[in-house]
Amino acid sequence: MSGYETTFDDHDEALIAAPRALLINCTLKPSPQPSSGDVLGGQVLRQLEEHGVQGSSIRAVDHRILPGVESDMGEGDAWPEIREAVLQADVLVFVTPTWLGQHSSVAQRVLERLDAEISATDETGRPTLFGKVAIPVVVGNEDGAHHICGILAQALGDTGFTIPAQSSVYWNGRAMEGVDYRELSETPEAVATAIRTAAANAAHLAELLRSEPYPA
């Protein structure tokens, strides 16, 4: 998949056994433009790696994700391949910028495509996203992070993901100023603490759900 970075190696048995994380960055900026979502989301992935979770990432705007609420919207739709990556992951790191106090239009498109999983089931009869956890990540230099985290937690929970305790990670810069997260000289301690907590709780919960899945 063009623009899809992965560390997964299907020939490495140890890696196959390890929990997997997928970061979907819903920035409006296509590659190779710099994205604060890549920076903050990447920090979450690196912290997950400290707990044995192998990570990969995708920038959704680089792919032709057609509008709709089905798992496959037909010719030219890039979502089926992205969906397969979601289904292979144990942890979804869902990253969105803040625009006009809301999550991005790209994030909304991804949420709408995930809606198809509400009625989809696996070979055991469980909804396809049961057993997977999600970390909402929000970045921007305006207010709205708490509001967006609430929307993401509700939407991702509805589609089948489990939201770990204190798993929302966000950074708000000062309103009406032009400093982006990627331009900071160091990670604010409050953000670093949130990253550590989210990663630890998500990795722990993912392992629990791998060994003790929800009932069918």
Closest C-alpha among 90, 54, 48, 31 to residue 213 = 90
> In the prediction, which pLDDT does 3 show?
39
| Residue located via tokens 């990795």 | 203
> In the prediction, which pLDDT does 14 show?
46
Encoded amino acid at 137, one letter:
V
Distance, in Å, from the CA atom of 41 to the CA atom of 36, rounded to the nearest integer, reads 8
> In the prediction, which pLDDT does 81 show?
98
How many Cα atoms occupy the beta-carbon half-sphere of 43 within 13 Å? 25
The residues that bridge with 158 in the sheet, in sequence order, are none
> In the prediction, which pLDDT does 16 show?
55
Cβ–Cβ under 8 Å, residues 182 and 39:
yes
Domain definitions of the chain by residue range: 21-210
Answer positive or negative: Cα dihedral of 54, 169, 176, 151: positive
> In the prediction, which pLDDT does 205 show?
98
Tell me if residue 88 falls in helix, strand or coil.
helix
Pairing, β 133-140 against β 169-172: parallel
> In the prediction, which pLDDT does 41 show?
98
Q: How far is CA 59 from the centre of its chain?
A: 10
CA distances from 160 to 29, 75, 117, 118 (A): 28, 27, 7, 7
Top CATH class, 21-210: alpha beta
Cβ–Cβ under 8 Å, residues 45 and 123:
no
> In the prediction, which pLDDT does 177 show?
83
10-residue averages of pLDDT along the chain (216 residues)? 42 65 98 98 98 98 98 98 98 97 98 97 95 98 95 98 98 88 97 98 97 93
Q: Check: pTM over 0.85? Answer yes or no.
A: yes
> What are the φ/ψ torsions at residue 3 (nearest 5 degrees)?
85, 5
Q: Is the peptide bond before 34 cis (omega within 30 degrees of 0)?
A: no
> In the prediction, which pLDDT does 213 show?
95
Q: How far is CA 65 from the centre of its chain?
A: 16
> In the prediction, which pLDDT does 12 show?
47
User: What's the start-to-end Cα distance of the chain, in Å?
Assistant: 33
Rg (CA), the chain: 16
Distance, in Å, from the CA atom of 42 to the CA atom of 45, rounded to the nearest integer, reads 5
